[in-house]
Chain A
Amino acid sequence: MDSSWLPTLLALAWLTPLASFVFILFFGKHAGPHGRFAGTVATGAIVFSCVLSFVAMFGAWLPNNELPEAHHGDHAAGGDHDEHAEDGEHADEADHETFIRPAASPFLLASSGGDRGTISLVADTAEGEGDSAEHHIAPNGKPPAVYGVFYNLVTFGKLKLDISYYIDALTVTMFCVVTLIASCVHFYAIGYMHDELHEPYTDHEVTLTDGTHLVRKGRFYRFFQYLSLFCFSMLGIVIAGNLAMAFVFWELVGICSYFLIGFYIERHSASTAANKAFIVNRVGDFGMLIGMMALWSSLGTFAFGDTQNDQGEVTEPGMFSVLRTEENHYALAPTESMEVEGARVVGEGEEGESSHAGQWLLLIAGVGVFCGCVGKSAQFPLHVWLPDAMEGPTPVSALVHSATMVAAGVYLTGRVYPIFTPEALLVIAVIGCITLFVAATIAITALDIKRVLAYSTVSQLGYMMLALGIGGWSAGIFHLITHACFKGLLFMCSGSVIHAVHTNDMSYMGGLRKKMPITAYTMLVGCLAIIGAGIPTSMYGLSGYYSKDAIIEQAWSFAGANRGNPLLSILLIAPVIGAAITAFYMFRLWYMTFAGEPRDHHRYDHAHESPRVMTMPLVVLAVCAIAIGWSVPGTNLSITSLLEQAQPVGTTPGAEGVLAENLVVPAEQLSHVKAVKIPAGWAAFSAAAFGVLLATIIYLWRMLNPAEIRDSFKPLYAFLWNKWYFDELYDLIFVKPTHWISGLIAKFDRGIIDGIIHGTAATAKAAASIVSNVGDRTLVDGTVNAFANRTWDFGLMLRRLQTGSLRTYVLAIAMGTWITYMLVSFIMVARGTG
């Protein structure tokens, strides 16, 4: 098939779930008994999408785009990477082999004193390797991609909003992964949500005031309706050809997630969690809007790809082409309009340093867009919503809150990767690093099986962000794909367990592997995959082995390149320690659930293996979790080579900081040299092995009593059990000051306005009542909820300004005019007379 088929195929794959959603919306209730066929329709739709995606991959993408040779899975080929710089599609780059500095960084050239050129960048990391020290890496050109516009939504002056597509190897790969996992989850959900087919359905989690459980109608069809809408929105993000469209679908997946978390709406915790997720995400999206506007104002386009006319000439260059021009050898350089715009926004007219204004604007844009990703991918400090989101049904946790939607943040970061300056990348790396470590430690003490997995998800997302931030684009995206498989698997296994024992609490489980062997052993595969089990420095291992090792190698390379700044070596230490912790808590989970003796015999006796419709997806995903990192025998087709092909324009040679002068982001290829690969591989392996060993000693062999350990590390345990006291910290930082200020303002306002009219006695009384009202509120469940509460109180305080007294209002007219006038005249006189 010609590659012109790609848009058609993928658009069809994208719209099929929408069709299913519309069908279920109108006819779902009446499709079969209790809407049973809604599940069939939705599943059929997503399977059809999946087939189309694979047709697109094997029928239209691969025949037309030759794959480069892969690096990542290729563990044996340590130092053998010389020719990769020019291979693949971009032989035309060969004549630029002598690396020319980005024109935008003359400042760097002057200040770095010449002792740290690009060549020394390579030499730094590959010191002692000899064979690769002389290489410089030419920046790669544009990856092969198909860009076009389906439909022009609206044009506002220079602002165009299109429904467009940008299809490169990453898009096609993500289509396959998303639809594959979604298909498995749909099948699984038919079994898992079976209860909803009973009419009426009794929700045992909800106890009404009279002591009985809530009885309501089954909502089987509605679940699949949301699931279809979600798939449509998620695929919309993947296919989106411009940032604005990505944002629209970004919000749509947020809405779907809101509905799905709140699926058991009668449970108070579910509706609270849904609200929390939505609001926290909006906070991130607000940053994203600012970033988008900063980009648009300076670039004038949201498009990822270039618009070409019939002759193949570029008529409207996309964002990436504008920022990384061919003349500039695909190095990131702020455009002239960015300098001007940046000077208007950032610089207050310091003429001499205006060359940095564009860099600042790029930084703002990059960090702004990343803010949205922080919200959606549950990165620190907005990670608080994801663990609560586990209130949703388990298939939702598997699909939305681990495999796909939360990965959308990572995907978008990877998609707009060419716009990130090294400083923005550092921000990403630091956020990712904090997230992975904090979440991993919290997971150690959690007892709720889904919560352990939720924190594990947050932690793994942190790994991905870290990888992207330190220059490991393929490593990060690769981990996103492998993680989607094994985390989906893990969640579905946990769902199978919960289905069997009707509790989330691991202290009631144990020994279940005899009762439910398929679940137990597929979950073991998932655990091994997530800890990155494999034979160190060889090319044999489970999927997580390749991706996690790639991340740690890149971190190793990054730490080597930034030897001058020891603080940055934390970005290496944290992921290695995190790997040990990951191994520990994953095996703790498996041992507590499946190994040893049953802790609760009543529940154990009633446990049973799940029906085949639920276990088959587990097996499929387990196979994926094992093999998705491998290359197809006899060819060089693998995820890594696909990602190699999709490598964003101009990002192979790494980068050096302009605003932060000593920052070096090393090229990703440099992490494949032996000097990096071998120690990093062993570090990762020994960390994981240590974690597994510790878990085995404590939870399987019982040589140490967990309770005793808990007692001897009581403060630490309490610290982790309370989730690092984030709730309390937010309380202290945001809540208390707001509280204090609002009390003060309330006093002040009442004092001024009422003082004139009613006299001070009433004022004192009212102010006291406000302070006592606000003060008496118990400060529970801090975090964002409490922040919202404080804003709420502040709003209530503002309401009190509306006294209802007409004379106050009239006085307010006079006072308002007078005060405004005084302010304005004061400023004018100050300006006028100097």
Chain B
Amino acid sequence: MNLQTIVNSLISDTVTTSLPLFKPELVLCVTIVVLLVTRLFPGLNKIPPFAIALLGGIVALWASLPAGGIADWAKIERQELFTGMLTYDAVTAFIRVFLMAFAVLFIVLARLTGLADREDGQDFYCLAFGSIIGMCIMASANHLLTLFLGVEMASVPSYVLSGVVKGRRRSSEAALKYAVYGAGTAGVMLYGVSLLAGILGSAHLPTMAQQLVEFDIAGKLAEGDQYMQVLVLALGGLMLGVGLAFKLSAVPFHFWCPDVFEGASAEVDGFLSVASKAAALALLVRVGIGFGHVPGETPESVAAAARPTATVQLAAAAADVPPAVRLIADEAPVTDGDAETADAAADTGPLSPVRSFFVQVVGIVSVITCTFGNLAAYGQKNIKRMLAYSTIAHAGYMMMPVAAAVALVGRDQAAAGDAVSSMLLYAAFYLFMNLGAFAIIAFLRNSMQSEQIDDYAGLIGRSPLVALCLTGILVSLVGIPPMAGFIGKFRIFQSLVEAGGPLMMFMLVAAGLNTAISLVYYLRVCKTVCIDSPPDTSRPVALGFFASAYVLALSLPVLAFGILPNSIAQWAQAATAGLFG
């Protein structure tokens, strides 16, 4: 094989396979270039940037739909693009549709609220699209380099977006904090990536999983003098997790979130809390499954090929552990002695230590994140800050099914796929809930120049539509039927129950308790909006026709999906059906 053939095959692979599947991102890239070019030439800058951006967004959305329509999601097979740098499967497709739809909604919102004005519109749209491309890469990352690049591409433009309002001290402070915090976590993550890649001798996720199988973690731990290598591996994994936790705003790497949300404009908050979070969750799934699952492996094949030595060592490692710290994944089966069902039910694959590590870290962090977010939201006076803590709490909720999915991979891949689909479903509902909430905040800011919760008093008298929509969205965020949030939470609980085990039960109880805790602060806003009497200085709130329509378009689905969730739930399920191809 000479250089010529390598180059040829590379080109043909790229042109025939990879690029067609990379269309939506390419469309966004073209849109960015067009936006920048029109600014350069005096004749062309008459074209309103909003039109170009909207056109680009819609074309990208169209391009991101799979060839056979959404119904064909289940048929999409996992493919590696660009020589293994990216992966393309139905989850990628789902998240991409999600992100493109969000991009369209977002630029419309920015236009309606006047955040992207005619002078700076190009910049604003370019930054948003750049960030979206980064998120797409995050969602399809299959290599540590693309993982890191994706996170950075998504983050760097959002630093600027959070400071996009010129001349406001708070805005510039938010941008500075976000940039420094983000850069710090990116550095830590990069260092973790270097450790992982170095020890496992590859940066390609499936290859790394293969290497982990051969690494024989359980054996190294049991031998005693080689556990340093495992510890370095764990350190690398944790440092990688820091980057993810930053994007997810998981405790204790959430510090940027409230400050940035308060300082940035509400539209950007919607961007950060919906798109950025969804992409980070998809990346978490990629990492969890990338390290915890070798493609093509099934529980049956593992049970058949399980090396006796490894199993014995595993059992030896698990034997002396006190129950409290025992990992669920290698917990000894406690069924009534039926050997065959026991084998099928227990996770005995060689990657089970990796999985249990991931599950425990993500599980515990999710519970802490959820509880912290909900408690700290108490007593907030600024609505954006309150919703920032609410976002933190929701990140915790949405991390739970990911932990459940990874815990299930070794036992029941269909159930694991279901768990991921519950996360996708919640993310889809979350788009409407949070973007709707932030859109309302942005419109209200424009008309009453305030973002304090107290100033929303008696809103129901001034603008019944907005007040009702806001109340509905908040009720949905708590997770009370018949709103969509209830279906989403219910589905998450289901995935936790399916995964089973003490840790999952703990998470279930914590999540349930958290819905009760969160009621207090959401209800407080509802009460202020609907019950309290308006201050004497209040002015009528006037939303234009388009603004009202926009708010309604985001709020109605929150109710509609609560009553008729079937179609969107089926899409989410189809999207994860082939996750473990």
Contact = CB atoms under 8 A, between A and B. Distances in A.
Contact of A791 (B222, B332, B375, B496): B375
Interface in B475-511: 480-482, 486-487, 490-491, 493-494, 496-498, 500-502, 505, 508-509
B336 to A, nearest CB: 6
B259 interface: yes
A821 B337 CA distance: 38
Interface stretch (B17-25, B70-78, B233-241): B233-241
A248 to B, nearest CB: 4
A262 B494 contact: no
B531 interface: yes
Nearest to A802: B258
Nearest to A344: B500
Given A282-B519, A812-B255, A795 B375 contact: yes
B105 interface: no
B180 interface: yes
Contact of A279 (B414, B516, B564, B573): B516
Contact of A296 (B422, B494, B500): B494
Interface in A246-292: 247-248, 251-252, 255, 262, 265-266, 271, 275, 278-279, 282-283, 285-286, 289-290
B500 A341 contact: yes
A283 B512 CA distance: 9
Contact of A351 (B231, B252, B334, B573): B334
A153 B482 CA distance: 12
Contacts of B253: 812-813, 816
Contacts of B494: 156-157, 159, 293, 296
B33 interface: no
Contact of B227 (A289, A347, A829): A829
B480 A255 contact: yes
Contacts of B335: 339-340, 343, 354
A161 B515 CA distance: 21
Contacts of A801: 376
Contacts of A567: none
A817 B239 contact: yes
B531 A795 contact: no
B539 interface: no
A812 to B, nearest CB: 6
A279 B531 contact: no
A830 B326 CA distance: 11
B496 to A, nearest CB: 8
Contacts of B325: 827, 830-831
A157 B415 contact: yes
Candidate in B180, B497, B515 with the most chain A CB atoms within 10 angstroms: B497
Contacts of B480: 251, 255
Given A282-B519, A788-B520, A827-B325, A297 B498 contact: yes
A799 B418 contact: no
Contact of B418 (A157, A283, A802): A157
A792 B530 CA distance: 22
Contact of B422 (A156, A285, A796, A816): A156
A710 B482 CA distance: 50
B375 A798 contact: yes
B378 A796 contact: yes
A236 to B, nearest CB: 10
B256 A809 contact: yes
B525 interface: no
A834 interface: yes
A680 B491 CA distance: 50
B372 A293 contact: no
Contact of A354 (B185, B235, B334, B500): B334
A788 B519 CA distance: 11
A813 B242 contact: yes
B66 interface: no
A275 B527 contact: yes
Contacts of A248: 481-482, 486
Contacts of A345: 500-502, 505
Contacts of A340: 335-336, 341, 345
B323 interface: yes
A810 B180 contact: yes
Contact of A832 (B242, B317, B372, B513): B317
A153 B486 CA distance: 13
Interface string B291-327: 0000000000000000000000000010011010100
A831 B334 contact: no
B569 A156 contact: yes
Determine chain A's interface SS by DSSP, over half rule: helix
B557 interface: no
B459 to A, nearest CB: 14
A157 B505 contact: no
Contacts of A255: 480
A496 to B, nearest CB: 29
Nearest to B258: A802
B259 A834 contact: no
Interface in A91-117: none
Interface string A701-725: 0000000000000000000000000
Given A810-B184, A817-B238, A832-B221, A343 B375 contact: no
B230 interface: yes
Given A153-B565, A806-B180, A795 B377 contact: yes
A247 B479 CA distance: 13
B42 interface: no
Contacts of A341: 500
Contact of B221 (A808, A809, A828): A828
Interface in B151-195: 176-177, 180-181, 184-185, 188
Contacts of B181: 806, 809-810, 813
Contact of B336 (A339, A348, A791, A810): A339
Interface string B254-268: 011011000000000
A344 B493 CA distance: 17
A285 B486 CA distance: 13
A804 B256 CA distance: 9
B79 interface: no
A806 B519 contact: no
B538 interface: no
Contacts of B242: 813, 816-817
A306 B222 CA distance: 52
B80 interface: no
Contact of B564 (A153, A294, A788): A153
A164 to B, nearest CB: 15
Contacts of A289: 493, 512
B573 A156 contact: yes
B508 A157 contact: no
Contacts of B520: 279, 788, 791-792
B501 A813 contact: no
28 contacts: A156-B573, A251-B481, A262-B531, A266-B533, A275-B527, A286-B513, A286-B516, A289-B493, A293-B497, A294-B497, A345-B502, A348-B334, A348-B502, A349-B323, A354-B334, A354-B335, A794-B378, A809-B181, A809-B256, A810-B180, A812-B253, A816-B252, A817-B239, A817-B242, A824-B357, A828-B234, A832-B230, A832-B317
9 cross-chain pairs, A with B, having the tightest CB-CB distances, nearest first:
A795-B378, A832-B221, A795-B375, A816-B252, A248-B481, A809-B255, A349-B334, A297-B497, A798-B376
Given A824-B234, A834-B320, 19 more contacts: A153-B565, A156-B422, A156-B573, A159-B491, A244-B490, A252-B482, A289-B512, A290-B509, A290-B512, A345-B500, A345-B501, A349-B323, A354-B335, A795-B379, A804-B259, A813-B242, A830-B325, A832-B224, A833-B221
Interface of B: 176-177, 180-181, 184-185, 188, 221-222, 224, 227, 230-231, 234-235, 238-239, 242, 252-253, 255-256, 258-259, 317, 320-321, 323, 325, 331-332, 334-337, 341, 345, 357, 361, 372, 374-380, 414-415, 418, 421-422, 480-482, 486-487, 490-491, 493-494, 496-498, 500-502, 505, 508-509, 512-513, 515-517, 519-521, 523, 527, 530-531, 533, 563-566, 569, 573
